[in-house]
Amino acid sequence: MKSTIRLAAALLALAAIPQVAEAQFGGLRKRLEQKIGLAEGGERAPAFSDRVLEITDARLDQLVKGLRVEAGEAAAQERRDAAGRARDAERAKQDEAYAACSQPFAKELLRYTGMTMGLAFAAKREQDKSGKAGGPMQDSLKAVTDRMVKTKDAMVAKCGAEPPESSDSSFDAMAADEGRDPQALGARAAGLTADQYAVLRERAAAFVLARGGRTGSYVYAAGERASLEHRARELAPFRALLGG
């Protein structure tokens, strides 16, 4: 009888070991996970700070406000860039047309310029030798100069005035856009610092672009995932802006 009682007690003790071990080691595992920053399920939990803000519905309201401003500014910049490219293309077209029209006249003017220089040097030599330039030399120089004037007038009559020097449109666009960085404007609209907005934007982007898949090195608390899933449809239109 006593041996039966002892056997039953031993069996009960053995049955209790897994439960005790689970309680002890389960608590130890939970403490270790908290210590190294792991959330339930083994995922690393985000460490929130003044820079890394917890994603909540209120934070997503701020982010959406910022993204709308970003999208508007990015579209405005694209319109300005397109207008600048159109101006550059039109200027190139005008330059090409003027060059084609004026080329024959330019060759003639270059020839007359050479003749004028030759006559001027000859007149200078004659003057140095005799003390004055002869009448025929002066007449020749005037005749060539008159031809140059007539050729230039004919060129203007046919080709129009030479297109003026233009400023660099790309440089002008950069100067105009200075201080209008879309992301900086988005942060201002969201009421966040540049760092806070950038980190919030990156973390939300990783989740949105993953479309339910893996988010790489970005991890989220359970409440953050719930907020992002709840607002996924609202964030979807910004995929292209976020890098998707």
pLDDT in tens, 39-89: 444 556 789 999 999 999 999 999 999 999 999 999 999 999 999 899 999
CB atoms within 10 A of CB 182: 20
143 and 205 both lie in a single domain: yes
Q: What is the pTM of this model?
A: 0.58
Question: Domain for residue 44, yes or no?
Answer: no
CA 231 to chain centre: 26
Question: Domain for residue 41, yes or no?
Answer: no
Domain tally, the chain: 2
138 and 199 both lie in a single domain: yes
Question: Domain for residue 52, yes or no?
Answer: no
Q: Are 138 and 145 in contact (CB under 8 A)?
A: no
29 and 62 both lie in a single domain: no
16 and 124 both lie in a single domain: no
Of 178, 203, 187, the residue nearest 77 (C-alpha):
178
Question: Domain for residue 74, yes or no?
Answer: yes
* Residue 215: per-residue pLDDT: 85
Structure tokens at 28: 């130890």
Cα(77)–Cα(177) distance, integer angstroms: 8
Structure tokens at 243: 């890098």
Question: Domain for residue 203, yes or no?
Answer: yes
* Residue 180: per-residue pLDDT: 81
Domain that holds residue 199: 57-242
Structure tokens at 142: 């005037």
165 and 211 both lie in a single domain: yes
